[in-house]
Structures are given as C-alpha cells and as structure tokens.
Amino acid sequence: MSKTILITGSTDGIGLDAATLLAAQGHKILLHGRNQRRLEAAAARLREESPNCSPEAYLADLSAPEEVENLAAAVTRDHTRLDALINNAGVLKGPDPSTRHGWDLRLLVNTIAPYLLTRRLLPSMDHAGRVINVASAAQEPVDLQALQHPGTLSDMSAYAQSKLALIMWTFHLARTLGEGAPAFIAVNPGSLLGTKMVREGFGLAGKDVRIGGDILARLATEEAFSSVSGQYSDNDVGDFGSPHPDALDPERCRMLTEALDVIVAQLT
C-alpha cells in the first residue's frame, strides 16, 4: 500500500537516494530542502526515474526554527495523515558554526529541528506511523552549555554530540509517548558513505550511497520493522545494536529531552 513519507534533506546524498527508492516503490514522497533549485532538481529526478510518481516539495532552512514550524504547518495543511517521517537532513560543518540565534549549527539542524518537526507532526501520525531519525556512529556525551557557545567545540565534537542527543530524544519519546504514538527508530545509515558531507568533510570518495538509502527506505516501510521502537539500527553491522551508553540511561534521556523542550520554547 502506498505510504506518504516526508524525508528531510532529500535534495542530495542519502535522503535523495532513499526518496528515489521509495518513489520507485510507489510511495508518495514529500521532498524537503533548503534550496529551491535543488528541490526542483530532486523532484525532476524522481519523476524521471519513476514517471508515475508525483513528489511534492517543501522548502525550509532547518537552522531557523520558524522555518521548521512553517514546514510542519505546510505538511499538515496538505496532508491529513503522514505514514513516515525520515529526519535525515544533517550538517557536519559550515562556513559559520553559529546560527543567528547564537546556538551551534549542528545542534539546531541535527537535533532541535527534527525534534520540533516531529513534535508538530505527531498529530498527523498514528501507531502505525514511523519516525526514522538519522544519527551516526559518531556519538559523544552531550554538553548543551558548550553547544550554546559555538566555536568552543570542534566540528566533529559538535556533530557527534548533536547525533547522540538525537538518539537520546528518540529513545525518550519511544519510551514515554504511549500506545497511540508512531514507532521511533534511530539509525546509523553507514559510515563514510560517498555524499557531499563525506567528500567535503573528510576529503574521501566514500562508499556507495545506496547503503544508506536502502536502510532508510526499509526502516520506513518494511513490515519486519513495524513493531520496532526505541531501538538503534547500526548499518555498519547490519543489525540493531547499542548506541553510546548515555542513550541507554532513561534518566539521562529524560533530562536531555526536557532541556530540549526549554530550548524549543525559547526559540519558538
């Protein structure tokens, strides 16, 4: 059955690959990007590869919480039901580690934006829905104070902290939202896949992007994963596994998520 699937950061890399795969399977794809030209190119690529598909495109810069709110409002306006949300957009480094709100770019794009978007879209999702949060093997204990002062952490530390925070709120929502809520799965799509992030960040050609696109598409749609929630899929080992121990501590996850609620309240 065709599902309606929103994939953030689907103008390039793993997100675009997953979108292409899912469109070819007959699903309704809601593309998202921060650049209109790249969004149109992504939609054109889907139509070219799957002539029967009719992707929709949403523009939002996820480093700006008001644009995240607008994205959620637009998706809710256009669709009464969402089957899957793939929070894939992410950033390792940029010309400036700071956003105009004064917070670290990685915290805003990789942790806060997917949290806010998920919270806003939850009313459109039921127990059969899935939230797939794209994390990474790079995970470091989260220091929200440091992330409030961009430039104090290396790009890699800020990235690794933002990704562990993403896993921690994923697990907290899975644990606390109750039976009517969608399933929440965090996933490391595979390390050093050949995307812009890896080419620009590490100067490497990287591995086949399809490794990442395939696991996102499968987690979002396959029946085998319908009862999986609050778990971490580690595509470097091809199975569910254990993330950083901080994510396995419910109290730490609760405190981190409550701190994110405070930040979101300040920013919106």
Question: Minimal distance in Å, beta carbon 251 to ligand NAP?
Answer: 26
Radius of gyration of the CA atoms of the chain, in A: 17
For ligand NAP, which is the closer residue by CB, 19 or 125? 19
**Choice between 126 and 208, CB closer to ligand NAP:** 208
243 scored as a contact of ligand NAP (CB under 6 A): no
- Which member of 58, 115, 159, 232 is catalytic? 159
Choice from 90, 97, 129, 150 touching ligand NAP (CB under 6 A):
90
Burial of 44 (0-12, 13-18, 19+ CB in 10 A): exposed
Give CA angle at 91 (150, 162), nearest 5°. 60
Helices in 25-154 by DSSP H: which ranges?
36-49, 65-78, 105-106, 113-121, 144-147
Part in contact with ligand NAP (CB under 6 A); list of ranges 56-64, 178-186, 218-226, 238-246: 56-64
What are the beta bridge partners of residue 213?
A: none
Beta carbon nearer to ligand NAP, 129 or 189: 189
By beta-carbon proximity to ligand NAP, the closer residue of 28 and 34 is 34
232 catalytic? Reply is no
Q: How far apart are CA 208 and CA 210, in angstroms?
A: 5
From 6, 7, 9, 125, residue interacting with ligand NAP (rule: CB under 6 A): 9
Note whether 191 binds ligand NAP by CB under 6 A: yes
37 CB-contact burial (10 Å; exposed 0-12 / middle 13-18 / buried 19+): exposed
- Which one of 70-78, 121-129, 196-204, 249-257 is the stretch in contact with ligand NAP (CB under 6 A)? 196-204
211 belongs to the binding site for ligand NAP (CB under 6 A): no
Question: Exposed (0-12), middle (13-18) or buried (19+): which is 96, by Cβ within 10 Å?
Answer: exposed
**Interface ranges with ligand NAP (CB under 6 A):** 9, 11-15, 33-35, 38, 61-63, 88-91, 109, 134, 136, 188-189, 191-193, 195-198
